[in-house]
Structure 1
Amino acid sequence: MNIALFGYGKMGRMLEQIGTQRGHNIVAKIDVDTNLEELDYSAIDIAIDFSTPDAAFGNITHCFNKGIPVISGTTGWLAKYEEAVALCNEKKGAFIYGSNFSLGVNLFFELNKKLAKLMANVQDYKVHMEEIHHIHKIDAPSGTAITLAEGIIENSSYVNWKLVAPTENEIGITAIREGEVPGTHSIAYQSDVDSIEIKHTAHNRNGFALGAIIAAEWLVGKTGVYSMKDVLNLS
Protein backbone atom coordinates (compact mmCIF):
# COMPACT_ATOMS: atom_id res chain seq x y z
CA MET A 1 0.00 0.00 0.00
CA ASN A 2 1.33 3.45 -0.92
CA ILE A 3 0.56 5.93 1.84
CA ALA A 4 0.66 9.74 1.86
CA LEU A 5 1.08 11.22 5.33
CA PHE A 6 -0.59 14.59 5.88
CA GLY A 7 1.21 15.98 8.90
CA TYR A 8 4.72 14.83 9.74
CA GLY A 9 5.12 15.50 13.44
CA LYS A 10 5.45 12.86 16.15
CA MET A 11 2.42 10.94 14.93
CA GLY A 12 3.51 11.19 11.31
CA ARG A 13 6.89 9.68 12.14
CA MET A 14 5.24 6.92 14.16
CA LEU A 15 2.90 6.16 11.26
CA GLU A 16 5.90 5.96 8.95
CA GLN A 17 7.68 3.54 11.27
CA ILE A 18 4.72 1.21 11.82
CA GLY A 19 3.53 1.42 8.22
CA THR A 20 6.98 0.46 6.96
CA GLN A 21 7.18 -2.39 9.46
CA ARG A 22 3.88 -3.73 8.07
CA GLY A 23 5.25 -3.69 4.52
CA HIS A 24 3.79 -0.43 3.22
CA ASN A 25 5.46 2.44 1.36
CA ILE A 26 5.37 6.05 2.52
CA VAL A 27 5.32 7.89 -0.80
CA ALA A 28 4.64 11.44 0.44
CA LYS A 29 5.15 13.38 3.68
CA ILE A 30 3.02 16.53 3.55
CA ASP A 31 3.70 19.38 5.95
CA VAL A 32 2.82 23.06 6.08
CA ASP A 33 5.22 24.02 3.26
CA THR A 34 4.15 21.28 0.83
CA ASN A 35 2.53 22.32 -2.45
CA LEU A 36 -0.38 19.87 -2.76
CA GLU A 37 -0.62 20.40 -6.52
CA GLU A 38 2.88 19.00 -7.02
CA LEU A 39 2.07 15.57 -5.53
CA ASP A 40 1.87 12.51 -7.78
CA TYR A 41 -1.61 11.31 -6.85
CA SER A 42 -1.39 8.34 -9.20
CA ALA A 43 1.21 6.88 -6.82
CA ILE A 44 -0.99 7.25 -3.68
CA ASP A 45 -3.34 4.47 -2.54
CA ILE A 46 -4.52 6.20 0.63
CA ALA A 47 -3.93 9.34 2.70
CA ILE A 48 -3.61 9.42 6.48
CA ASP A 49 -4.18 12.85 8.01
CA PHE A 50 -2.76 13.71 11.43
CA SER A 51 -2.19 17.38 10.69
CA THR A 52 -3.73 20.38 12.51
CA PRO A 53 -7.34 21.52 13.06
CA ASP A 54 -6.81 24.39 10.61
CA ALA A 55 -5.38 22.20 7.85
CA ALA A 56 -7.40 18.98 8.19
CA PHE A 57 -10.57 19.90 6.29
CA GLY A 58 -8.58 21.26 3.33
CA ASN A 59 -6.36 18.18 3.24
CA ILE A 60 -9.30 15.79 3.40
CA THR A 61 -11.40 17.50 0.73
CA HIS A 62 -8.37 17.91 -1.55
CA CYS A 63 -7.83 14.14 -1.40
CA PHE A 64 -11.48 13.41 -2.15
CA ASN A 65 -11.26 15.66 -5.20
CA LYS A 66 -8.21 13.68 -6.34
CA GLY A 67 -9.91 10.29 -5.79
CA ILE A 68 -7.79 9.36 -2.75
CA PRO A 69 -9.39 7.59 0.25
CA VAL A 70 -8.69 9.23 3.61
CA ILE A 71 -8.05 8.18 7.19
CA SER A 72 -8.32 11.21 9.50
CA GLY A 73 -7.23 11.28 13.12
CA THR A 74 -7.02 15.07 13.44
CA THR A 75 -9.42 16.53 16.00
CA GLY A 76 -10.74 20.07 16.42
CA TRP A 77 -12.19 20.51 12.89
CA LEU A 78 -15.49 18.65 13.23
CA ALA A 79 -17.70 21.68 12.63
CA LYS A 80 -17.08 20.85 8.96
CA TYR A 81 -17.36 17.05 9.29
CA GLU A 82 -20.74 16.85 7.51
CA GLU A 83 -19.34 18.88 4.61
CA ALA A 84 -16.49 16.38 4.30
CA VAL A 85 -18.93 13.45 4.38
CA ALA A 86 -21.12 15.07 1.71
CA LEU A 87 -18.12 15.59 -0.60
CA CYS A 88 -16.89 12.04 0.02
CA ASN A 89 -20.27 10.66 -1.01
CA GLU A 90 -20.50 13.00 -4.00
CA LYS A 91 -17.07 11.87 -5.26
CA LYS A 92 -17.78 8.22 -4.37
CA GLY A 93 -14.76 8.29 -2.12
CA ALA A 94 -13.85 6.45 1.06
CA PHE A 95 -13.39 7.98 4.51
CA ILE A 96 -12.81 7.04 8.13
CA TYR A 97 -12.60 9.70 10.82
CA GLY A 98 -11.62 8.63 14.30
CA SER A 99 -11.13 10.77 17.38
CA ASN A 100 -8.82 7.97 18.50
CA PHE A 101 -7.61 5.02 16.41
CA SER A 102 -6.25 2.98 19.31
CA LEU A 103 -7.84 -0.47 19.27
CA GLY A 104 -8.07 -0.38 23.07
CA VAL A 105 -9.79 3.00 23.08
CA ASN A 106 -12.37 1.83 20.55
CA LEU A 107 -13.19 -1.11 22.80
CA PHE A 108 -13.34 1.41 25.67
CA PHE A 109 -15.90 3.44 23.68
CA GLU A 110 -18.19 0.40 23.62
CA LEU A 111 -17.62 -0.32 27.33
CA ASN A 112 -18.51 3.31 28.08
CA LYS A 113 -21.81 3.02 26.19
CA LYS A 114 -22.68 -0.22 27.98
CA LEU A 115 -21.99 1.32 31.40
CA ALA A 116 -24.06 4.40 30.49
CA LYS A 117 -27.02 2.17 29.66
CA LEU A 118 -26.66 0.34 32.97
CA MET A 119 -26.48 3.59 34.95
CA ALA A 120 -29.26 5.41 33.08
CA ASN A 121 -32.01 4.37 35.49
CA VAL A 122 -30.00 4.79 38.69
CA GLN A 123 -30.76 8.29 39.92
CA ASP A 124 -28.23 8.67 42.74
CA TYR A 125 -25.10 8.77 40.57
CA LYS A 126 -23.58 11.78 38.82
CA VAL A 127 -21.07 11.21 36.02
CA HIS A 128 -17.81 13.12 35.58
CA MET A 129 -15.01 12.70 33.04
CA GLU A 130 -11.32 13.55 33.22
CA GLU A 131 -8.82 13.56 30.37
CA ILE A 132 -5.08 14.17 30.60
CA HIS A 133 -2.80 14.88 27.64
CA HIS A 134 0.62 16.31 26.87
CA ILE A 135 1.18 20.07 26.91
CA HIS A 136 1.45 20.23 23.09
CA LYS A 137 -2.18 19.20 22.49
CA ILE A 138 -4.09 22.13 21.00
CA ASP A 139 -7.76 21.25 21.58
CA ALA A 140 -9.57 20.73 24.89
CA PRO A 141 -11.38 18.60 25.70
CA SER A 142 -9.83 15.91 23.54
CA GLY A 143 -11.72 14.43 20.63
CA THR A 144 -11.69 11.13 22.50
CA ALA A 145 -13.35 12.75 25.53
CA ILE A 146 -16.02 14.27 23.29
CA THR A 147 -16.69 10.86 21.70
CA LEU A 148 -17.00 9.32 25.18
CA ALA A 149 -19.38 12.09 26.26
CA GLU A 150 -21.49 11.57 23.13
CA GLY A 151 -21.64 7.85 23.93
CA ILE A 152 -23.05 8.64 27.37
CA ILE A 153 -25.52 11.19 25.99
CA GLU A 154 -26.83 8.65 23.45
CA ASN A 155 -27.60 6.20 26.25
CA SER A 156 -28.78 8.38 29.12
CA SER A 157 -30.72 11.52 30.04
CA TYR A 158 -27.66 13.76 29.80
CA VAL A 159 -28.04 16.33 27.01
CA ASN A 160 -24.63 18.00 26.74
CA TRP A 161 -21.09 18.19 28.10
CA LYS A 162 -19.29 21.19 29.56
CA LEU A 163 -15.78 22.01 30.75
CA VAL A 164 -16.85 24.57 33.35
CA ALA A 165 -19.79 24.51 35.79
CA PRO A 166 -21.97 21.77 34.25
CA THR A 167 -25.66 21.78 35.13
CA GLU A 168 -27.57 18.77 36.41
CA ASN A 169 -28.15 17.32 32.93
CA GLU A 170 -24.66 18.08 31.57
CA ILE A 171 -21.53 15.93 31.77
CA GLY A 172 -18.64 17.70 33.45
CA ILE A 173 -15.25 17.21 31.78
CA THR A 174 -11.92 18.13 33.35
CA ALA A 175 -9.15 18.63 30.77
CA ILE A 176 -5.56 18.56 32.07
CA ARG A 177 -2.42 19.31 30.06
CA GLU A 178 0.84 18.14 31.62
CA GLY A 179 4.20 16.73 30.59
CA GLU A 180 4.27 14.28 27.70
CA VAL A 181 1.20 12.20 28.67
CA PRO A 182 0.00 10.30 25.55
CA GLY A 183 -3.60 10.20 26.77
CA THR A 184 -5.58 9.12 29.83
CA HIS A 185 -9.39 9.11 29.98
CA SER A 186 -11.50 8.22 33.01
CA ILE A 187 -15.25 8.20 33.59
CA ALA A 188 -16.59 8.10 37.14
CA TYR A 189 -20.15 7.67 38.38
CA GLN A 190 -20.25 8.99 41.94
CA SER A 191 -22.87 8.83 44.66
CA ASP A 192 -22.82 9.57 48.39
CA VAL A 193 -22.02 5.94 49.17
CA ASP A 194 -19.67 4.74 46.42
CA SER A 195 -18.10 5.33 43.02
CA ILE A 196 -17.85 3.32 39.81
CA GLU A 197 -14.97 4.20 37.48
CA ILE A 198 -13.63 3.01 34.13
CA LYS A 199 -10.31 4.23 32.76
CA HIS A 200 -8.12 3.92 29.69
CA THR A 201 -4.42 4.80 29.88
CA ALA A 202 -2.24 4.99 26.77
CA HIS A 203 1.39 4.10 27.53
CA ASN A 204 2.68 5.55 24.25
CA ARG A 205 1.52 6.69 20.80
CA ASN A 206 2.16 3.34 19.11
CA GLY A 207 -1.43 2.19 19.58
CA PHE A 208 -2.83 5.27 17.83
CA ALA A 209 -0.54 4.80 14.84
CA LEU A 210 -1.10 1.03 14.60
CA GLY A 211 -4.87 1.49 14.63
CA ALA A 212 -4.70 4.10 11.87
CA ILE A 213 -2.58 1.81 9.68
CA ILE A 214 -4.98 -1.11 10.29
CA ALA A 215 -7.90 1.18 9.37
CA ALA A 216 -6.09 2.18 6.15
CA GLU A 217 -5.50 -1.47 5.25
CA TRP A 218 -9.22 -2.14 5.77
CA LEU A 219 -10.44 0.92 3.83
CA VAL A 220 -8.46 0.52 0.61
CA GLY A 221 -10.75 -0.68 -2.20
CA LYS A 222 -13.96 0.37 -0.42
CA THR A 223 -16.40 3.21 -1.06
CA GLY A 224 -18.32 5.07 1.64
CA VAL A 225 -17.98 6.59 5.10
CA TYR A 226 -17.04 4.24 7.92
CA SER A 227 -15.77 4.23 11.50
CA MET A 228 -13.50 2.10 13.65
CA LYS A 229 -16.60 0.15 14.70
CA ASP A 230 -16.71 -1.16 11.12
CA VAL A 231 -12.98 -1.89 11.07
CA LEU A 232 -13.22 -3.88 14.31
CA ASN A 233 -16.59 -5.44 13.43
CA LEU A 234 -18.23 -3.92 16.51
CA SER A 235 -21.36 -2.62 14.73
Structure 2
Amino acid sequence: MNIGLFGYGKMGRMLEKIGQDRGHTIVAKIDDDTEAIDYDGMDVAIDFSTPNAAFNNITHCFKNRVPVVSGTTGWLRDYEKALQICNAEKGAFIYASNFSLGVNIFFELNRQLAQMMSGLEQYTASLEEIHHIHKLDAPSGTAITLAEGVLEHHPKKDWSLDGKEKGKLPIYAKRDGEVPGTHSVNYTSKEDSITIQHVAHGREGFALGAIVAAEWILGKQGVFSMKDVLNLSN
Protein backbone atom coordinates (compact mmCIF):
# COMPACT_ATOMS: atom_id res chain seq x y z
CA MET A 1 0.00 0.00 0.00
CA ASN A 2 1.29 3.46 -0.93
CA ILE A 3 0.73 5.98 1.87
CA GLY A 4 0.86 9.77 1.72
CA LEU A 5 1.63 11.40 5.06
CA PHE A 6 0.21 14.88 5.69
CA GLY A 7 2.12 16.21 8.68
CA TYR A 8 5.64 14.96 9.31
CA GLY A 9 6.31 15.75 12.96
CA LYS A 10 6.81 13.13 15.68
CA MET A 11 3.61 11.34 14.77
CA GLY A 12 4.40 11.45 11.06
CA ARG A 13 7.80 9.86 11.62
CA MET A 14 6.24 7.19 13.81
CA LEU A 15 3.63 6.48 11.14
CA GLU A 16 6.42 6.15 8.60
CA LYS A 17 8.29 3.59 10.70
CA ILE A 18 5.25 1.48 11.58
CA GLY A 19 3.92 1.66 8.01
CA GLN A 20 7.23 0.46 6.61
CA ASP A 21 7.45 -2.28 9.25
CA ARG A 22 4.06 -3.53 8.03
CA GLY A 23 5.27 -3.63 4.42
CA HIS A 24 3.87 -0.33 3.14
CA THR A 25 5.59 2.42 1.14
CA ILE A 26 5.58 6.09 2.09
CA VAL A 27 5.23 7.94 -1.21
CA ALA A 28 4.76 11.48 0.14
CA LYS A 29 5.72 13.38 3.30
CA ILE A 30 3.96 16.75 3.29
CA ASP A 31 4.64 19.13 6.14
CA ASP A 32 3.12 22.36 4.83
CA ASP A 33 0.01 23.57 2.99
CA THR A 34 1.00 23.15 -0.65
CA GLU A 35 -0.72 22.43 -3.93
CA ALA A 36 2.31 20.60 -5.40
CA ILE A 37 1.26 17.07 -4.43
CA ASP A 38 1.22 13.96 -6.60
CA TYR A 39 -1.97 12.13 -5.61
CA ASP A 40 -1.77 9.56 -8.41
CA GLY A 41 0.68 7.34 -6.56
CA MET A 42 -1.24 7.37 -3.26
CA ASP A 43 -3.49 4.52 -2.22
CA VAL A 44 -4.42 6.26 1.04
CA ALA A 45 -3.56 9.45 2.95
CA ILE A 46 -2.99 9.78 6.70
CA ASP A 47 -3.44 13.30 8.03
CA PHE A 48 -1.80 14.35 11.30
CA SER A 49 -1.12 17.91 10.18
CA THR A 50 -2.22 21.22 11.73
CA PRO A 51 -5.71 22.68 12.28
CA ASN A 52 -5.09 25.30 9.59
CA ALA A 53 -3.99 22.78 6.96
CA ALA A 54 -6.20 19.78 7.76
CA PHE A 55 -9.40 20.77 5.93
CA ASN A 56 -7.57 21.53 2.67
CA ASN A 57 -5.44 18.39 2.95
CA ILE A 58 -8.46 16.19 3.53
CA THR A 59 -10.76 17.68 0.89
CA HIS A 60 -8.04 17.81 -1.78
CA CYS A 61 -7.57 14.09 -1.23
CA PHE A 62 -11.30 13.49 -1.68
CA LYS A 63 -11.24 15.43 -4.95
CA ASN A 64 -8.34 13.28 -6.12
CA ARG A 65 -10.02 9.99 -5.15
CA VAL A 66 -7.65 9.27 -2.26
CA PRO A 67 -9.22 7.86 0.94
CA VAL A 68 -8.24 9.70 4.13
CA VAL A 69 -7.56 8.75 7.74
CA SER A 70 -7.26 11.84 9.97
CA GLY A 71 -6.31 12.35 13.61
CA THR A 72 -5.78 16.12 13.45
CA THR A 73 -7.68 18.06 16.10
CA GLY A 74 -8.77 21.69 16.15
CA TRP A 75 -10.38 21.83 12.68
CA LEU A 76 -13.74 20.23 13.48
CA ARG A 77 -15.76 23.40 12.89
CA ASP A 78 -15.39 22.38 9.22
CA TYR A 79 -16.07 18.69 9.80
CA GLU A 80 -19.60 18.65 8.36
CA LYS A 81 -18.42 20.57 5.31
CA ALA A 82 -15.68 17.97 4.80
CA LEU A 83 -18.26 15.17 5.01
CA GLN A 84 -20.37 16.86 2.33
CA ILE A 85 -17.36 17.01 0.01
CA CYS A 86 -16.47 13.39 0.82
CA ASN A 87 -19.96 12.20 -0.08
CA ALA A 88 -20.16 14.38 -3.20
CA GLU A 89 -16.84 12.99 -4.43
CA LYS A 90 -17.76 9.41 -3.40
CA GLY A 91 -14.70 9.40 -1.16
CA ALA A 92 -13.77 7.50 1.99
CA PHE A 93 -12.96 9.02 5.38
CA ILE A 94 -12.19 8.06 8.97
CA TYR A 95 -11.68 10.69 11.68
CA ALA A 96 -10.82 9.76 15.27
CA SER A 97 -9.75 11.79 18.29
CA ASN A 98 -7.60 8.79 19.25
CA PHE A 99 -6.60 5.91 16.96
CA SER A 100 -5.28 3.61 19.69
CA LEU A 101 -6.98 0.24 19.29
CA GLY A 102 -7.21 -0.16 23.06
CA VAL A 103 -8.68 3.31 23.56
CA ASN A 104 -11.41 2.67 21.00
CA ILE A 105 -12.35 -0.56 22.77
CA PHE A 106 -12.30 1.48 26.02
CA PHE A 107 -14.72 3.99 24.45
CA GLU A 108 -17.23 1.17 23.91
CA LEU A 109 -16.75 -0.25 27.42
CA ASN A 110 -17.34 3.26 28.76
CA ARG A 111 -20.62 3.62 26.88
CA GLN A 112 -21.84 0.21 28.06
CA LEU A 113 -20.93 0.94 31.68
CA ALA A 114 -22.63 4.36 31.48
CA GLN A 115 -25.81 2.68 30.28
CA MET A 116 -25.65 0.18 33.16
CA MET A 117 -25.12 2.98 35.71
CA SER A 118 -27.81 5.28 34.33
CA GLY A 119 -30.48 4.34 36.86
CA LEU A 120 -28.21 4.26 39.91
CA GLU A 121 -28.48 7.79 41.29
CA GLN A 122 -26.39 7.01 44.38
CA TYR A 123 -23.24 6.96 42.22
CA THR A 124 -21.38 10.15 41.31
CA ALA A 125 -19.52 10.04 37.98
CA SER A 126 -16.18 11.73 37.27
CA LEU A 127 -13.27 11.41 34.83
CA GLU A 128 -9.53 11.86 35.19
CA GLU A 129 -6.83 12.15 32.53
CA ILE A 130 -3.06 12.29 33.07
CA HIS A 131 -0.62 13.34 30.33
CA HIS A 132 2.97 14.52 29.94
CA ILE A 133 3.88 18.08 30.88
CA HIS A 134 4.31 19.08 27.21
CA LYS A 135 0.61 18.65 26.43
CA LEU A 136 -0.88 22.13 26.29
CA ASP A 137 -4.62 21.45 25.86
CA ALA A 138 -6.84 20.24 28.67
CA PRO A 139 -8.86 18.16 28.91
CA SER A 140 -7.62 15.75 26.26
CA GLY A 141 -9.75 14.97 23.21
CA THR A 142 -9.93 11.38 24.46
CA ALA A 143 -11.31 12.53 27.82
CA ILE A 144 -13.94 14.63 26.05
CA THR A 145 -14.99 11.61 23.95
CA LEU A 146 -15.27 9.55 27.15
CA ALA A 147 -17.32 12.30 28.80
CA GLU A 148 -19.68 12.36 25.82
CA GLY A 149 -20.13 8.60 26.19
CA VAL A 150 -21.06 9.03 29.87
CA LEU A 151 -23.38 11.98 29.18
CA GLU A 152 -25.43 9.93 26.69
CA HIS A 153 -26.87 8.09 29.73
CA HIS A 154 -26.48 10.66 32.50
CA PRO A 155 -28.78 13.40 33.86
CA LYS A 156 -25.98 15.96 33.53
CA LYS A 157 -25.74 17.29 30.01
CA ASP A 158 -22.27 18.84 29.90
CA TRP A 159 -18.78 18.47 31.36
CA SER A 160 -16.58 20.86 33.31
CA LEU A 161 -12.78 21.02 33.58
CA ASP A 162 -11.58 20.16 37.11
CA GLY A 163 -15.12 20.38 38.46
CA LYS A 164 -15.16 24.17 38.29
CA GLU A 165 -18.82 24.35 37.28
CA LYS A 166 -21.42 22.82 39.56
CA GLY A 167 -24.00 20.57 37.97
CA LYS A 168 -21.64 19.36 35.24
CA LEU A 169 -19.65 16.14 34.84
CA PRO A 170 -16.11 16.85 36.11
CA ILE A 171 -13.01 15.98 34.09
CA TYR A 172 -9.84 16.32 36.15
CA ALA A 173 -6.74 16.97 34.03
CA LYS A 174 -3.23 16.36 35.41
CA ARG A 175 0.17 16.89 33.80
CA ASP A 176 3.00 14.68 35.04
CA GLY A 177 6.46 13.94 33.63
CA GLU A 178 6.38 12.04 30.35
CA VAL A 179 3.13 10.10 30.88
CA PRO A 180 1.82 9.10 27.39
CA GLY A 181 -1.80 9.07 28.52
CA THR A 182 -3.91 7.57 31.31
CA HIS A 183 -7.71 7.90 31.35
CA SER A 184 -10.03 6.82 34.16
CA VAL A 185 -13.82 6.85 34.47
CA ASN A 186 -15.06 6.67 38.06
CA TYR A 187 -18.41 6.00 39.70
CA THR A 188 -18.41 6.58 43.47
CA SER A 189 -21.02 6.03 46.16
CA LYS A 190 -20.88 5.88 49.99
CA GLU A 191 -20.67 2.10 49.75
CA ASP A 192 -18.14 1.50 46.97
CA SER A 193 -16.44 2.71 43.81
CA ILE A 194 -16.25 1.43 40.24
CA THR A 195 -13.35 2.49 38.00
CA ILE A 196 -12.40 1.60 34.44
CA GLN A 197 -9.03 2.76 33.16
CA HIS A 198 -6.90 2.80 30.03
CA VAL A 199 -3.13 3.25 30.35
CA ALA A 200 -0.99 3.94 27.28
CA HIS A 201 2.55 2.57 27.58
CA GLY A 202 3.82 4.71 24.70
CA ARG A 203 2.68 6.68 21.68
CA GLU A 204 3.23 3.88 19.18
CA GLY A 205 -0.30 2.60 19.76
CA PHE A 206 -1.79 5.78 18.29
CA ALA A 207 0.26 5.41 15.10
CA LEU A 208 -0.41 1.68 14.81
CA GLY A 209 -4.16 2.28 15.00
CA ALA A 210 -3.99 4.88 12.23
CA ILE A 211 -2.08 2.45 9.98
CA VAL A 212 -4.61 -0.31 10.72
CA ALA A 213 -7.42 2.13 9.85
CA ALA A 214 -5.66 3.02 6.58
CA GLU A 215 -5.35 -0.68 5.70
CA TRP A 216 -9.04 -1.19 6.45
CA ILE A 217 -10.40 1.78 4.48
CA LEU A 218 -8.65 0.85 1.23
CA GLY A 219 -11.24 0.20 -1.49
CA LYS A 220 -14.18 1.44 0.58
CA GLN A 221 -16.55 4.39 0.07
CA GLY A 222 -18.25 6.44 2.77
CA VAL A 223 -17.64 7.94 6.21
CA PHE A 224 -16.51 5.53 8.91
CA SER A 225 -15.19 5.42 12.46
CA MET A 226 -12.87 3.21 14.47
CA LYS A 227 -15.98 1.31 15.57
CA ASP A 228 -16.23 0.09 11.98
CA VAL A 229 -12.52 -0.75 11.79
CA LEU A 230 -12.72 -2.82 14.97
CA ASN A 231 -16.16 -4.28 14.12
CA LEU A 232 -17.73 -2.73 17.22
CA SER A 233 -20.70 -1.10 15.47
CA ASN A 234 -23.09 -3.83 16.54
1:137 — aligned with what? Answer: 135
Q: Any idea what the Cα deviations from partners look like across 1:75-107, whole Å, max 9, x if unmatched?
A: 222222111111111111100001111111111
The DSSP-based 3-state class of the residue aligned with 2:5 is strand
Post-superposition shift, 1:153? 1.5
Q: Which is further off, 189-198 or 216-225?
A: 189-198
Give the direction of change, closer, same or farther, for the CA distance of 1:178–1:65 in structure 2 (3 Å limit). farther
Question: Structure 1 residues 53 and 138, CA, compared in 2 at 3 Å: closer, same or farther?
Answer: farther
Is the contact made by 1:162 and 1:171 (CA closer than 8 Å) also made in structure 2? Answer: yes
Q: Deviations over 1:90-133 (max 9, x none)?
A: 11110000111111111101110111011110111111111122
**RMSD of aligned C-alpha atoms?**
1.5
Task: Name the structure 2 match of 1:22.
Answer: 22
Q: Does 1:174 align with 2:166?
A: no
Q: Which residue of 2 aligns with 1:226?
A: 224
Aligned length: 232
Q: Displacement, 1:29?
A: 0.9
User: What secondary structure sits across from 2:35 in the alignment?
Assistant: helix
Unaligned ranges ≥5, structure 1: none
Counterpart for residue 77 of structure 2? 79
Q: Distance in 1 between matches of 2:128 and 2:64?
A: 40
The one-character-per-residue Cα deviations of 1:154-188 (angstroms, maximum 9, x if unpaired) are 222231112152332x2111222333221111111
TM-score (norm 1): 0.93
| Aligned residue identity for 1:116 | A
The one-letter code sitting in structure 2 at the alignment partner of 1:13 is: R
Larger CA deviation: 12-21 vs 179-188: 179-188
Give the letter for the 1:166 counterpart: E
**Fraction of identical pairs, as percent:** 66
Secondary structure of the corresponding residue to residue 216 of structure 2: helix
The residue type equivalent to 1:167 in the other structure is K
Give the whole-Å Cα distance in 1 for the aligned partners of 2:36 and 2:51. Answer: 23
Which residues in structure 2 correspond to 1:188-203 (within 5 Å)? 188-203=186-201
Q: Distance in 1 between matches of 2:181 and 2:92?
A: 28
* Structure 2 residues not aligned, in runs of 5+: none
Structure 1 residue 7 displacement after superposition: 1.1
Secondary structure at the counterpart of residue 41 of structure 1: coil
Q: Following TM superposition, where does structure 1 have runs of at least 4 consecutive aligned residues deviating by more than 6 angstroms? A: none
Query: 1:18: how far off?
Result: 0.7
Question: Aligned partners of 2:110 and 2:51: how far apart in 1?
Answer: 26
How far the C-alpha of 1:138 sits from its partner, in A, is 4.0
2:91 to 93, 96, 99: 93
For 1:120, the equivalent position in structure 2 comes to: 118
1:31 alignment partner in structure 2: 31
Which residue of structure 1 lines up, in the alignment, with residue 5 of structure 2?
Answer: 5
SS at structure 2 position matched to 1:37:
coil
Mean CA deviation greater in 68-77 or 17-26 = 68-77
